Structure 1
Amino acid sequence: MRKGRYSKYIRPLLYIIDLLIILFLSYTFLTQEIIDVFFIVFFWIVLSIILSFYEVYRFTKIIKIISLLTRQIIIFLLVLLSFFYFRNDQIASSSIFSFFTLLFITLNLWRIFLYVIFKKYRLITGSNYKKVVILGHNESTNRLRRFFNEAPEFGYRDLGFFTDQDVKGKLGGVHSVFDFIIENEIDEVY
């Protein structure tokens, strides 16, 4: 497998930027108590893990990203309202509304911007792609190959397929796939 890729830094970067946005907005609209801000960030992190909020991949559609964010924000709202209620904190409803509205808009714009940038980057530069091979030859694998070849914006580069069937265009038999993976630094096998 290839080394020196930057994809592993994307999710931590998302976390950091999201948390900075939450820190800024919570300090501005909800509370200036450091312990409260700490709990707000803590709740966001715990919810994001439980709800798999950051489990977004290059093939994830934008509507799914918005759906994940909407679910995360709604549950986050309920948790924070409960937190402030049990602490008897008096926060104006207009401040809470402003916080969640701006949080929703900002995170959506940030995510959509990043989504579009990555797709454009892959198309323009031809980089930030994963080299893939496919095991087998049937209608399902043919559909998968068409997807890889017809949707380059998702960042997959199909190098071919392996099968023990006697078909035209195969890279080799299944027994030769491991050597090919190592020699060609394949990222994913389907």
Structure 2
Amino acid sequence: MAKTRFNTYFPFLYYIGEFFVILFCSNLMLYLTFSVWSVYNSFFIAFWLVMSLSFRSHVLGRGIEYISLVKSTLKSLFFFSGIVAIINLFFFNFQFQLSTLGIAITLFYFLMLCYRLCLNLILERYRAFGGNILKCMIVGYNSHGVQLYDELLKFPEFGYRSYGLFTFDSKARKKINNIPFQGKITDFDDSIFRKYDIIFFSEKLSFKNQDYLVQKADEYNLKVNSIPDLVNYDVKNFFISKISSVPYISINKLPLDNFYNQILKRSFDIVFSLLVCIFFLSWMIPIVGLLIKISSKGPVFFI
């Protein structure tokens, strides 16, 4: 129940915090420029919140690296800045001093980064002390299960808790590296699944046993995850893809495979092209045309 309440209210509280950050920066901008509140400010605050919501910024993820959080935040900020620049240029046409604009943008970047990093740190401390945890059933009394169990103990801030390993083998040893042995999963009543939030099972299990766990997960509305043999390899990310009905695991992912990066690159291309047209081609083309007219006969443009 507590976890359900947390998942319900946290997104709302998260965006309230972002609202106050951008509201503070907007008011600072007005103060520095001796301006008054206008539809311009309201529009861009709403635009940031809608953009942040569409990118699901509140989903910080368990165990997310801080460098990844910084990168994702900077991408959002750069994308937002590009859109603001385009809209301001063609619709609002507000004129600010470069120093004033630089102060406001720098402060906005700094405060938003601090907000997300501090919030992630608070969530990690909260989970480390037992808040918003996920109870994990680890099935597989082998190297996969042992490694996952050790990682969960090593990083309590991820918010996962496990009390030992289950197996389908009744002859399993009682101890591996002093890890508690919970017993054979089929010896328990089905009510055992009500005590957990997520299931991890080793890929080394038979397909019959894997199918049994998937069915139980569906029946009791649990998340279920398979631990692949790739756990022993030093790779950054795994991505599950599929060709027709045949699944496969992608070991790497190119930057432009991410839809968010595609939007960012396209926005940069448009903004950069507009800047080149406005500040470079606007004066270069007339000069080139004049030089052509002076040095040769005939029209400048051939149609």
TM-score band w.r.t. shorter chain: 0.7 to 0.9
Residue in structure 1 matched with residue 77 of structure 2 by the alignment: 73
Q: Does the CA contact (< 8 Å) of 2:133 and 2:159 recur in 1?
A: yes
Q: 1:173 to 1:101 in 2, by over 3 A?
A: same
Residue ranges of structure 1 left out of the alignment (5+ in a row): none
74-83 or 145-154, which deviates more: 145-154
Q: Structure 2 length as normaliser, TM-score?
A: 0.54
CA distance in 1, matches of 2:96, 2:188: 65
1:80 partner amino acid: V
Displacement of 1:141: 3.2
Alpha-carbon displacement from aligned partner over 1:135-174 (angstroms, at most 9, x marks no partner): 3344333322211111112221113333323423243325
58-67 or 48-57, which deviates more: 48-57
**Structure 1 segments of 4+ aligned residues over 4 angstroms from their partners:** 174-178
Q: Does the CA contact (< 8 Å) of 1:131 and 1:158 recur in 2?
A: yes
CA distance in 1, matches of 2:69, 2:183: 36
Residue in structure 2 matched with residue 42 of structure 1 by the alignment: 46
Describe how 1:135-154 pairs up with structure 2 within 5 A. 135-154=139-158
CA distance in 1, matches of 2:125, 2:156: 10
CA distance in 2, matches of 1:111, 1:117: 10
Give the greater-gyration-radius structure (CA). 2
Asked whether 1:99 is paired with 2:97, we answer: no
Q: Structure 1 length as normaliser, TM-score?
A: 0.82
* SS of equivalent residue, structure 2 residue 183: coil
Instruction: Report how many aligned residue pairs link the two structures.
Output: 185
Q: CA RMSD in A?
A: 2.5
- Of 114, 118, 143, 1:109 maps to 114
Q: 1:35 to 1:74 in 2, by over 3 A?
A: same
Asked whether 1:119 is paired with 2:124, we answer: yes
Q: Which has the higher contact order (CA 8 A, sep 6+)?
A: 1
Asked whether 1:25 is paired with 2:25, we answer: yes
Q: Does the CA contact (< 8 Å) of 1:132 and 1:187 recur in 2?
A: yes
Displacement of 1:131: 1.6
Identity of aligned residues (%): 24
Residue ranges of structure 2 left out of the alignment (5+ in a row): 174-180, 201-303
CA distance in 1, matches of 2:167, 2:109: 48
CA distance in 2, matches of 1:55, 1:127: 16
CA distance in 2, matches of 1:178, 1:57: 30
Asked whether 1:173 is paired with 2:179, we answer: no
